[in-house]
Amino acid sequence: MRTLRFDETTLELVAINQTKLPLETEYIRISESRVLYQAIKELAIRGAPAIGVGAALGLYACALRFEDKAPEGFLYSFDKTVEYIASSRPTARNLFYACGRMSAASRQGTSIEDIKESLKNEAFSIEKEDIELCRAIGKNGEKLIRDGAAILTHCNAGALCAVEYGTALAPIYEAKAKGKAVYVYADETRPLLQGARLTCFELTEAGIDTTLICDNMAAGLMAKGKIDLVIVGCDRVAANGDFANKTGTLSLAVNARHFGVPFYVAVPSSTVDLSALTGDDIVIEERDGAEITEKFFKNPIAPESVKTYNPAFDVTPGSLVTGYITEKGVFKSI
């Protein structure tokens, strides 16, 4: 499954609208900053690696539409667009990583055409690197999975969170490709059900034996010895190994430690933020409370007057992590 691509005929970013899955596979075409911003903000493009690649390819598509006649004006327009897109979501490291690289690329060349070519090369490089990183994570993580293993995962860190393969699900895909029997328990992942809608969609389409559970059922499965290991993705990793992932990940890590279940995090280098010394330095996005009070955007399930608290992520201490699955290998620390 390819989550997004650049259409070189129409010069647009083309991405799966993930808010429509699994009932409908709709593609959105992006060449305007407002549309790119909304796609990331409203989770049509989601998952840290996909956000980064989408931002890079989307910024290139937007730049091709600038009407500035002088390089100075073009760069001003590009800088303002980068600033706008970077403000869409605060936690995913890949967004800022990609925006930073595209900003640096915009300074290569003296003419507008030279700058556009530099932006194209950088955006396509970021896309290619993401595919290679995820493939390598899959190969390294597969070695942790024995034949017949039962794996628990949270949220969606598969192909839909990247360009291809994904992060936390990449080792599962690789294990299946090598002929191993693999069984997956997928948390539904409240409040937006990325596990139920996206992870289960991906895995069942790939022919992988998948069981959907409510988020609060994971500890019970661990207590019964039904989980061999946990693999999750992440949106930002601090220098000390603390990491932010979809809210609910911290509970999994605590439960896994209590029941002696190995807990692994899939980490592409583009997600590591060495400027964040600990998890306390990671900005956690808080989203609209309607995501809690309404059942996946529709059908109220709580009184309108009730107060809400809706952080998109929580931070798991590195001390609870068994290992970090990276493109370079599996390590006990970052």
Q: Give the residue numbers annotated as catalytic, written as ranges.
A: 235
- Residue 48, beta-bridge partner list: none
Residue type, 292: I
DSSP class of residue 272 equals B
Cβ neighbours of 260 (radius 10 Å): 8
- Taking alpha carbons only, the member of 221, 225, 245, 226 closest to residue 235 is 245
Q: Coil, strand, or helix at residue 160?
A: helix
Q: Omega into 191 within 30° of 0, i.e. cis? A: yes
DSSP class of residue 286 equals B
Q: Coil, strand, or helix at residue 244?
A: strand
Helix axes 71-86, 93-105, angle to 10 degrees: 180
Per the CB < 8 A criterion, the answer to whether 21 and 203 are in contact is: no
- Which ranges constitute the DSSP H helices of 185-273? 194, 200-205, 218-223, 249-259
- Which ranges constitute the DSSP H helices of the chain? 33-41, 48-63, 71-86, 93-105, 112-142, 170-177, 194, 200-205, 218-223, 249-259, 290-293
**Beta strand pairing call for 182-187 and 236-237:** unpaired
Cβ neighbours of 2 (radius 10 Å): 13
